[in-house]
Structure 1
Amino acid sequence: MIRRTWFAAAALALAAAPFQAQAGIVIDYASGFSGACGSGLTCVGDTSVNGSALRLTPAGIGQAGAGYSTTAITLGAGATFSTSFQFQLTQPGGIAPADGITFVLAQGTSGLGGAGGGMGYQGVGNSVAIEFDTYWNNFDPNSNHVGVDSNGSLSSSIWASPYGVTNCDFGSNSYLADGCMSNGKVWSAFINYDGTTQKLNVSVQQQGMALVQLITDYSIDIASILGTTDAHVGFTAATGSGLENHDILSWQLANDTSIVGPGTVPEPADLALLSLAGVAALWAGRRRRS
């Protein structure tokens, strides 16, 4: 009976392991951004710290801002990285909720691109961005999508809509629906890139809903686009005639693939290490009980 219970506990420990912080973390704002601007992050344009959140833009017309690492972060082999962050988009106004945020890796330190539909990213060269877009410009597929951009262009090479929801605007208050990124709820994003295989994965999770993987094993050579594996990383956002608060609530980034979303499977090497650690801890506990 003891042996069966011990193996059951081991299985539970391994299942819980992907939720734990990993050693590869090189940026850690898990507790918020108090004091971050000017100390670790360069905040430009309309970006500032609001409470413990990094407010990329307030809900005003024609705002643009960015917050990115002041020093370049050394990524893993072939620009390997993984990151997770929480964001919240509130107080939409103007013609529609707009325009959204990007998570960006860039070679340089200019950090801030075009306003409005440029999302604070347009024109930033030698860069790769994951956009979380809440407004339907003429170059967009719809008003609620996540896409992959490069070299300052907002014409996404691949995109998908969270939970299949594509229409999020003021008509019939559709922006308040579950699955709309501008609905004011807390969203979590998980981005994982293996520079060895050159595969990118992006998942999101709305507060109170299941995790969904939007982009799976997308082939992209990030190191070649950046021209380096030392990147300034962070976020941009903008408003135009439509607006909203763009807040990042927390953020972690690792220079390996150890940050994974809930319910996903870590890389085989990480899983092996976690397995050994879990079994060792349980064995030590069993000896103490004996």
Structure 2
Amino acid sequence: MIRSLFAPAMLAFAAAAPQAQAGVVINYSNFTGACGDGTLTCVGNAATPSSALRLTPAVDGQAGAGYSTTPITLGTGATFSTSFQFRLSQAGGIDPADGITFVLAQATNGLGGAGGGIGYSGVPNSVAIEFDTYDNGEVGASNHIGLDRNGSLNSSPVSSPYAVSYCHLFDNSYLSDGCMSNGKVWSAFINYDGTTQKLNVSVQQQGLALIQIISDYSIDVGSFLGTNSAYVGFTAATGAGHQNHDILNWQLATDTSITPGGNNVPEPASLALLAVAGIAALGARRRR
């Protein structure tokens, strides 16, 4: 499934959009109409009100997901690489919450648990990378990225981007650089080599340097999926806290060709181009 939208009004955005390359099977330069045209399965509160995939609006008690409509046959040993940009904005309620996950699952059974479940808890035969913005007592507190398995949010390994783990609403610390709920554009890169069974995850906040969150971590993704194909996509949820959870663009390959240095997604510095394209993204929630 390869999708690229280049309407005249989107020319500025398209100039900075992901460039398709060998092995790429998903290529959303934006998500305009994707929830209604059959290219993406959207469930719960997920929608495409603009050119972004909004997994949840900035309202308490929401949950949403967007998956590939058909399973993707992965590379050898479940090899894949992916890049996407996201923005979490308009935090409210008790704290920015709850975050998003990038998921590979054997079956698309709708949503997992809401609130602290980030729309992922309880999803069997799956692997996910969580981008968590609420402190439920985990390592990394209110700002961490971790590896999840089989619908469990007990992440391992887990790390706070830019070593920032304190991001709260009451003192506006969530607006600080390094807090994923700060409303800025973030780029994420996930690369898994099924031959070596090594996983790497990197992120970059608009205006900051690229950093590696997970480095050569050993995991057999195929053993968790139980197959060499998967439904792939994103989940998010809010609880007593909320934020807009927006995915701005997305590219996935069945090889390891998508890398941080590969010009796969617009650089965070291209925010001006994204604005010209009319991408609005906002966010917030709390885990229960």
Q: TM-score, normalised by structure 1?
A: 0.82
**Which residue in the other structure is 1:25 paired with?**
24
Of stretches 47-56 and 255-264 in structure 1, the one that deviates more from structure 2 is: 255-264
SS at the partner of 1:172? Answer: coil
Shift of residue 50 of structure 1?
2.0
Alignment of 1:215-226 (within 5 A): 215-226=214-225
Unpaired segments ≥5 residues, structure 2: 1-17, 264-288
Structure 2 CA distance, aligned partners of 1:120 and 1:50? 20
Contact 2:140 2:159 in 1 (8 A): no
Q: Does the alignment pair 1:262 with 2:229?
A: no
Please point out which of 17, 34, 38 is paired with 2:32: 34
Is the contact made by 1:140 and 1:155 (CA closer than 8 Å) also made in structure 2?
Answer: no
Over the residues paired in the alignment, what is the CA RMSD in angstroms? 1.4
User: Could you tell me which residue of structure 2 aligns to residue 131 of structure 1?
Assistant: 130
The offset of 1:140, in angstroms, is: 4.9
Aligned residues: 245
Distance 2:138 2:122 in 1: 15
Distance of 1:227 and 1:24 partners within structure 2 = 22
Tell me if the contact between 2:91 and 2:169 (Cα under 8 Å) persists in the aligned partners.
no
Instruction: Answer yes or no: is 1:170 the counterpart of 2:169.
Output: yes
Deviation at 1:176, TM superposition (A): 0.5
How far off is 1:109 after superposition? 1.2
Residue matched to 1:247:
246
- Higher CA-based Rg: 1
Whole-Å Cα distance in 2 between the matches of residues 138 and 45 of structure 1? Answer: 27
> In the TM superposition, what is the alpha-carbon distance from 1:102 to its structure 2 partner?
0.1
Point out the structure with the larger helix share. 1
- Map of 2:73 onto structure 1: 74
Partner deviation per Cα, 1:49-98 (whole Å, 9 max, x = no partner): 02100000000010000000010001100000000000000110000000
Displaced runs of 4 or more, over 4 A: none
Structural mapping, 1:1-290, within 5 Å: 21-30=20-29, 32-38=30-36, 39-262=38-261
| CA distance in 2: counterparts of 1:232 and 1:263, whole angstroms | 24
Shift of 1:171: 3.5
Indicate conservation of the 8 Å contact 1:33/1:54, yes or no: yes
Secondary structure at the residue paired with 1:125? coil
Q: Is 2:20–2:27's contact at 8 Å kept on the other side of the alignment? A: no
Q: Is the 8 A contact 2:123 2:150 kept in 1?
A: yes
Task: Normalising by structure 2, report the TM-score.
Answer: 0.83
Unaligned runs of at least 5 residues, structure 1: 1-18, 265-290
